Amino acid sequence: MSVKIALLGFGTVASGVPFLLKENKEKILQSAQSEIEVAKVLVKDDAEKDRLLAAGNDFDFVTNVDEILEDSDIAIVVELMGRIEPAKTFITRALQAGKHVVTANKDLLAVHGAELIAIAKEHGVALYYEAAVAGGIPILRTLVNSLAADKVTRVLGVVNGTSNFMMTKMVEEGWSYEDALAKAQELGYAESDPTNDVDGIDAAYKMVILSQFAFGMDVQFDQVGHKGIRKITPQDVAVAQSLGYVIKLVGSIEETPSGLVVEVTPTFLPKAHPLAGVNGVMNAVYVESIGIGESMYYGPGAGQKPTATSVVADIIRIVRRLNEGTIGKSFNEYSRPVQLAKPEDVKSDYYFSIQTPDMKGQLLKLAQIFNQEDVSFKQVLQEGAKDSVARVVIITHQLNQTQLQHIIEKIDEEADFTLLNTFKVLGE
Amino acid sequence: MSVKIALLGFGTVASGVPFLLKENKEKILQSAQSEIEVAKVLVKDDAEKDRLLAAGNDFDFVTNVDEILEDSDIAIVVELMGRIEPAKTFITRALQAGKHVVTANKDLLAVHGAELIAIAKEHGVALYYEAAVAGGIPILRTLVNSLAADKVTRVLGVVNGTSNFMMTKMVEEGWSYEDALAKAQELGYAESDPTNDVDGIDAAYKMVILSQFAFGMDVQFDQVGHKGIRKITPQDVAVAQSLGYVIKLVGSIEETPSGLVVEVTPTFLPKAHPLAGVNGVMNAVYVESIGIGESMYYGPGAGQKPTATSVVADIIRIVRRLNEGTIGKSFNEYSRPVQLAKPEDVKSDYYFSIQTPDMKGQLLKLAQIFNQEDVSFKQVLQEGAKDSVARVVIITHQLNQTQLQHIIEKIDEEADFTLLNTFKVLGE
């Protein structure tokens, strides 16, 4: 007997779902133990329906979601519309109607996940969303199943393809931020308003979900610090190169003695670090844990078929559980009380790029500021002055957030100094 | 209620199992939904038992396997003795006694897997072995679950840590094979007889298992071509570098129009390929598929805690299924008839290193040989002659196994030429 599913939305990713169901029919049948049939597809209006039918799509397109929610033959609803509304309302109603839900909607999950998970639990139905983090990379289910015996201590992720494409152009070809953005927009990777991608908001959503799966903590979106790539200059990139680093936008989750710290920020990665080679629109999630040690999961973070592969894997899992009679298990059962780190426990090496007039004693003055805060230098680079202005670059040994704050304030107090940029540096 | 397990063997990996069960107790309980207790541990003899007790190990050590196999309280037997016998007999008897089995024994699984899987099926018990391929990398379960909707077209794996450590020394530091082997032996990575590691036998075992999970085909060990790293010279490594490649021992499984080809062989990897950066004892499995496209799974291929993490993940899965009442599912359900590729469908770029006397017309003669076989050159490098002997290096465009055979024969027929080495080259 076949299991009937309905798609909400028929954009790029959604159309990949019937493609995979057909192309890999036999393998999917072995795994799911039932055939899977796309019974209905919700589209916006009659115009879209007519356009899709004219293009040769042979599905039962409907324009009213009730035709899906009230259809008792439909067991699984696959939401691929994106954005918060009406997706949230449709998912809520589907769960309440006893239907299992698969979604790739990371914004929704990151902001309203707890609410939706509770509704799913209440109604004994499944809510799966492997595709919500890093598209085609099977990271969520791997954390649930394969790292069940492990304790994760840190997660680092290059999880935004658009900004990683831009950073790759900036690093490998020396492009400016503006040129990289223009190219990303030309290729359709970046939207006309690129805020979500370049300011680290999209990556922060993914870090919220990864915090739940890797650390069992339901961190809120506004507890995730995020700083984007807009301010990175070709000079920063060149200095990073010359000191043996690659700059990337990295999301990190780390467990400190006082609790978790979650942030998204441009980060200097040592060139030998596995994440340093993750280029273009590719994504990767790097996991440090007490059992495995270090592992990395690499793949495309977006795109039709990669995302649809994760969506169909979720659908297969649900069908399988329906056949086994074990449906209703939460996607992620790991749960601990949320505890956030104190600023003094949040430690990292840091990069400072400081502009000073080219005169005697300036480096000494800088050294004194860092010394007062008990912070020592790992690498220092003073560049040849131009127009009587010098640039000093400092990479420090570990400092905590309190020290960082004090140093920034003290540099700001000195009229001579302009703090151009400060970024996190991943130690070897 | 707790689930009782028994360990067969208490070597390095085995002792990592109780470590993880204790260290991550709470998380494991959330996932398994039962406590897991190490009830008995099989050791070789009383001397080993006394030694382990004296060292402070607080377990019920037994020296007769019957004490485990006849103990109806023990639900899961964890085999970590390695080698074929007595592991095979013990696992067989455990399965026949209705016990679920977890093992990390790749040799055994690669050679006698089908037989053991059939016994497990017959008795409705589970036989899981995530740790058998690439230790801490969760590749098998990921192929089963997350790539259930996908069709894999090629798998490339750096899956032998010892040879990869040696190749890393040879590539990054220009060491000879002999020096690299001595260092690997000194550090305990290589055994005094390194055959299994350096000749690609260990990697071939893993390719057998990966063929089952990624392609559903039960390829036999003797159907896997394997060629090791013994013959790689510093000259080969240097030429590879100068042409933009890194040499590694790579296992590959590829589906051609006529069937599967599985082999382990030194391979030139373009420097930008994700596998090219997998260094030291680290392992990685790179997967090409029609859905995800390209993905890579990176981590430690061996070691106490990484391997134990995979073993405990298997144990948790069994306990979970015991609690759900769904035990007995095969670890891998993907199955298709085995079909091996015809030689003319097995295609790759190739590297040839040829020694010739330094005299006119030699390159022309070589060019004629390749031309007769319709094989064109991608890169050619002739090095300055020393002692009237020149070395010509050729990287070809794609050629098939029949062409390769003919070219090798023709070069051998020419008394002037000595074929020093020929290796696979991964195209961009």
B246 Cβ partners below 8 Å, 6+ apart? Answer: B171, B240, B268, B269, B271, B276
Residues of A in contact with B300 (CB under 8 A): 292-295
Cis preceding linkage at B86, omega within 30: yes
Residues of B in contact with A313 (CB under 8 A): 145-150
* pLDDT tens, residue by residue, B88-101: 999 999 999 999 99
Cis preceding linkage at A86, omega within 30: yes
Query: Both B7 and B119 in a single domain?
Result: yes
Look at residue A249 and tell me whether its pLDDT is greater than 80.
Answer: yes
Compute the half-sphere exposure of residue B258: CA atoms within 13 Å on the CB side of its CA.
9
Is residue A4 annotated as involved in ligand binding? no
**CATH code of the domain containing B380:** 3.30.70.260
Structural domain tally of chain A? 3
Question: Domain limits at B390?
Answer: 343-425
Give me the percent of chain A exceeding a pLDDT of 70.
100
Indicate the average pLDDT of chain A.
95
Residues of B in contact with A146 (CB under 8 A): 130, 138, 141-142, 310, 313
Query: Both A90 and A147 in a single domain?
Result: no
Active-site positions of A?
206
| Distance in Å, alpha carbon of A26 to nearest chain B alpha carbon | 9
Query: Both B315 and B405 in a single domain?
Result: no
Q: Does A206 reach chain B within 8 Å, measured CB to CB?
A: no
Is residue B227 part of the annotated active site? The answer reads: no
Query: Both B262 and B314 in a single domain?
Result: no
Closest residue of chain B to A19, computed from CA coordinates: B291
B291 and A20 within 8 Å at the Cβ level: the answer is: yes
Mean pLDDT of the A331-343 span: 95
Q: Does B279 reach chain A within 8 Å, measured CB to CB?
A: yes
Query: Both B130 and B143 in a single domain?
Result: no
Question: Binding site: which residues of B?
Answer: 106, 191
How confident is the model at residue B316, as a pLDDT?
Answer: 97
Look at residue B341 and tell me whether its pLDDT is greater than 80.
Answer: yes
Determine phi and psi for A133, rounding to 5 degrees: -120, 120
How confident is the model at residue A428, as a pLDDT?
Answer: 63
Indicate the average pLDDT of chain B.
95
| Distance in Å, alpha carbon of A238 to nearest chain B alpha carbon | 20
How confident is the model at residue B282, as a pLDDT?
Answer: 96
Query: Both A22 and A103 in a single domain?
Result: yes
A297 and B297 within 8 Å at the Cβ level: the answer is: yes
| Distance in Å, alpha carbon of B28 to nearest chain A alpha carbon | 6
From the number of C-beta atoms within 10 Å of its C-beta (0-12, 13-18, 19+), residue A356 rates as buried
Residues of B in contact with A315 (CB under 8 A): 149
* pLDDT tens, residue by residue, B138-178: 999 999 999 999 999 999 999 999 999 999 999 999 999 99
Rounded distance between C-alpha atoms, residue B413 and residue B410, angstroms: 5
Tell me which of B40, B88, B206, B248 is the catalytic residue.
B206
Q: How confident is the model at residue A213 (pLDDT cuts 50, 70, 90)?
A: very high
Look at residue A285 and tell me whether its pLDDT is greater than 90.
Answer: yes
Quick one: tokens of B158? 């750096």
Rounded distance between C-alpha atoms, residue B138 and residue B406, angstroms: 41
Rounded distance between C-alpha atoms, residue B377 and residue B398, angstroms: 9
Domain presence at residue A251: yes
Structure ipTM: 0.95
Query: Both A128 and A147 in a single domain?
Result: no
Query: Both A131 and A67 in a single domain?
Result: yes
**CATH code of the domain containing A150:** 3.30.360.10
* pLDDT tens, residue by residue, B215-245: 999 999 999 999 999 999 999 999 999 999 9
How many helices and strands, by DSSP H and E, does chain B display? 15, 17
Mean pLDDT of the B357-375 span: 91
* pLDDT tens, residue by residue, B51-89: 999 999 999 999 999 999 999 999 999 999 999 999 999
Helix axes A161-172, A177-186, angle to 10 degrees: 130
